[in-house]
Structure 1
């Protein structure tokens, strides 16, 4: 058999093999169902558009289940995006995390900022923290704004969330670089903040 004939035979074999292979798709749940049978009902609700079920399914893909079904960031990103686009606050925050870390999506700090900002505007302390960090430090991805960064970090520091301490530390470091007028303006923005709905 000539090398050209061998090449075509190999190509045909590979194409035939690929056609028989299962397509993973965004909703494949077999590994999760094996680890937790309740996931099947959750997946049905998610596929029917329930944003809470979509987030819960995404959480399972993001974290894995009891070392049986391991993380699948691509599927987590799919389900978080589905829920986030319906206004699910925690999913919006998680989309920020996925884009910041490059899990299941290409790393994109500008996109991470967009998702964190959506969560921050709704009053999410973690979203507020990361929005503040982005506005203070991500000058290679977005236009930084130290006054707005201080505002978001101050809001996050006032929460009862575990992130409050980190937010206060970041806010205090940033305050050293702001003048009195900037600090006054930032504190006024904190007082006037009112969470929005998605």
Structure 2
């Protein structure tokens, strides 16, 4: 069940294009000095990996259209405005981002804040077509996905995935069946860390 967010949520192409152009233009913390890794290309790469997961009907069927759209948005924007420093450094140095977020996943919390700041700009709210319940569901999913990219939680996330697939793996086919990189889902569902597809 492929989720076609622009059609499902009646997102005008011009609004989607405006949002994507703004995200690309402002992805780096300092657009004059772009981050060589945490940039718009990295966001697009992770979003493409998530698209590959969503092409598998058994994965896509687990999500509502709002959740699938939120997952794509979170993948695309998960490192938006990344300054190129890690959380430990920000906390240790008392950086403003760490202070603003009480030393709790300062980068990931900041990414969530600035994504919604961008969505609030005139002509950029690609979530506008969601009803109130879908919007709340999508916001919850975006925040959970982005906060989940904090590497401090990486091994806990992998452990949860392994348990999930140990219990439910019989219901899933391999992702990318027939390809040379025929990995099992637990090995590649951390799209940000994998870049395998």
Give the TM-score normalised by the residue count of structure 1. 0.25
Greater Cα radius of gyration, structure 1 or 2: 1
With CA pairs under 8 Å and 6+ residues apart, which has the higher RCO, 1 or 2? 2
More helix per residue: 1 or 2? 1
